[in-house]
Amino acid sequence: MMMFVFVSYLFAVLIGLATCQGSLDGPTVKIPQGLVQGIYKKSYKNKTYSAFEGIPYAVPPVGDLRFKPPQAAAKWTGVLKANKHYECLHFLPLVIVGPRGTEDCLYAYVYVPRETINPNELLDVIVHIHGGAFMMGSPKFMVGPEFLMDRDAIVVSMNYRLGILGFLSTEDDVVPGNNGLKDQSLALEWIKHNIKYFGGNPASITITGLSAGAASVHLHYFSQLSKGLFHRGFSQSGTALNCWALTENPLEKAKAVAKNVSCTTSSSKKMVECLRQVEGNALIQGLRTLFVYMDAVPITPFGPIVEKNPNGAFLSEHPYKMLQKGDVYDVPWITSNTKDEGLFPVGLIFAGKKFSEFEEKWYDIMQYALEMHYTVKPSLHREVLSNIKKYYFKDQPISEDNMFSFVKLFSDRMFLVDAEKSVRMHANATQSEVYYYLFSYIEDMPHFPFGMPKGASHGDDGRLMFKMFLTPPKLSDNDEQMMEYFADFIINFARKGIPSMKSVEWLPVKPDKDSNINYLQIADPDTISMKSVARLAPDDFWDSLPIRENENAMASSSDMVQGKFVIISIVLFVINAI
């Protein structure tokens, strides 16, 4: 029944969704790097706007610069024609397609809702960070600005390095990690310094993102590199505490890929020198050695990490710990979830498979699919997975009939349990307000992944703000109404830092632990209202399992390294050596 899921996604990506090409000879803007000429394009309502697509914000991270932090882009002479989309080189999880994109990919895209640029206008700036599990995705397929170009704000998006190219870490100073996030920070710096030439207000920058882009937005609140570069944030379906937002054992994974492409692993330095020589596509193919199922599980083999050395780090302490200490950049934050987030990972991972197969494969695949392979002690894997199965499936065998138990499990584990921790802790940590919404509207436009039951899936609310693949040129009346509400909401938030939708007073999340969580319920155009709930997910069950990676991160943090931790480590080292 889900045969078509992958194929349809790939089809959508491959045909490139020939969105209308803009006409050339758009406006020219002078920025410190040089002259940039954009193109004219049409908004959803046929208004002409100016698009500047493919402005370099960093030196191409190729050759010796592969795996290095990004460097600010150089100047150019003449006029840069900004009419090109880039995709960062990545592995698309299906054998027949393999690698896509180029390593020379660090570009920004600026959209101005005007035919004539007025540098004195000071429009609010909405930046969008695309999703794709830190492994794939691009502004081209995920950040169409057509809806917002009917309003008065500038939209900016950027590419950032993905997968092994963006997130390789040797867990030492050779390649500390987080280059993909350092790319994002550099892009934010570029925006702050350059947006005024396009008529944007550098003192009003709102960062938004979906999924891995949402976790990225949240991670910027914890980064020294991004402090002062934005004024509001909106994390749509993803936070820094989600189990997939930080990845484990990056050195072990780097070594596995290195072995696969015949590189030495004798030292970090030698390994990385060799990995720099490997041709890009071959390196990306080497990732396949890390997948245990369908070239898609684990979903995020490479992603953000806590860096060991704070010098130059994007992130040098676990966000959970920083939230507890109140060490968080203090500007307003919104986060959200859809009712059936799990539809997306379930559709993606289990595409074209019979559910009954997972009865047998439960233990082998689920430890990776549920991101607990590294965070639960191996001796406890079976017990934990068996408890989860019992809790979500009762004693029913796994089959299409209880597909929604599967979906619920993924919604809870991948999103809701940690969303709740995030909003409560973030509200306690900052003076600025934290807001939350739950989206349960079922759109009329085609649902992705195809072949799954209808629901409010991961990403559905995102496409009411930005055109993505599969968004039709004309929305149904209901979808269009919802799109207008979302566009108004983000525009108002960018303007005032206080969200609202359809003139409902949107109450912030209260900081105290025992209060219900206030949230805006977005169910359909006529049902948008404030609600509150004690729990977003069955926390008691999840807290009873020994997989509390956020809480455990505390125990292994650097403060404890002195003293008994060192002694234990030495003992373990000696035992291992014997």
Give me the residues that bind ligand NAG (CB under 6 A), please: 45-46, 260, 288-289, 324, 326, 425, 428, 513
Distances (CA, A) of 557 to 223, 318, 551, 560: 17, 8, 10, 6
Q: What does the block give as tokens for 319?
A: 């966000």
Closest distance to ligand NAG from the beta carbon of 42 (Å): 7
Q: For 124-192, give the DSSP string.
A: EEEEEE--STTTS--HHHH-B-TTGGGSSEEEEEE----HHHHH---SSSSS-S-HHHHHHHHHHHHHH
C-alpha atoms less than 13 angstroms from C-alpha of 58 in its C-beta half-sphere: 28
Whose tokens are 């402005």? That residue is 55
Whose tokens are 């629901």? That residue is 455
Our CB check for ligand NAG shows the closer of 20 and 577 to be 20
Closest distance to ligand NAG from the beta carbon of 290 (Å): 8
336 included as an active-site residue: no
User: Among all residues, whose Cβ is closest to ligand NAG?
Assistant: 326
Q: Could you give the CA distance from residue 189 to residue 117 in angstroms, rounded to a whole number?
A: 21
Report the greatest alpha carbon distance in the chain.
73
90 included as an active-site residue: no
Our CB check for ligand NAG shows the closer of 425 and 468 to be 425
Our CB check for ligand NAG shows the closer of 505 and 512 to be 512
- Position 248, amino acid: E
341 included as an active-site residue: yes
Catalytic-role residue among 341, 420, 433, 549: 341
Catalytic-role residue among 50, 426, 458, 549: 458
Our CB check for ligand NAG shows the closer of 78 and 473 to be 473
Q: Could you give the CA distance from residue 93 to residue 282 in angstroms, rounded to a whole number?
A: 15
DSSP lists the bridge partners of residue 156 as: 110, 127
Our CB check for ligand NAG shows the closer of 296 and 425 to be 425
Catalytic-role residue among 185, 211, 226, 316: 211
Our CB check for ligand NAG shows the closer of 256 and 442 to be 256
Our CB check for ligand NAG shows the closer of 19 and 324 to be 324
Closest distance to ligand NAG from the beta carbon of 175 (Å): 21
Q: Could you give the CA distance from residue 390 to residue 109 in angstroms, rounded to a whole number?
A: 48
DSSP state of 546: S
Q: Could you give the CA distance from residue 467 to residue 75 in angstroms, rounded to a whole number?
A: 32
Our CB check for ligand NAG shows the closer of 270 and 288 to be 288
Helix H, strand E, coil C: the string for 290-356 is: HCCECCCECCCCCCCCCCCCCCCCCCCCCHHHHHHHCCCCCCCEEEEEECECCHHHHHHHCCCCCCC
Strand 34-37 and strand 28-31: pairing? antiparallel
Closest distance to ligand NAG from the beta carbon of 426 (Å): 9
Q: Could you give the CA distance from residue 153 to residue 525 in angstroms, rounded to a whole number?
A: 24
Q: For 414-481, give the DSSP string.
A: IIIHHHHHHHHHHHHH-SS-EEEEEE----SSPPSSTTSPPS-BTTTTGGGTSB-TT--SS--HHHHH
Nearest to 6 by CA among 142, 97, 89, 133: 97
Rg (CA), the chain: 23
Residues labelled catalytic = 211, 341, 458
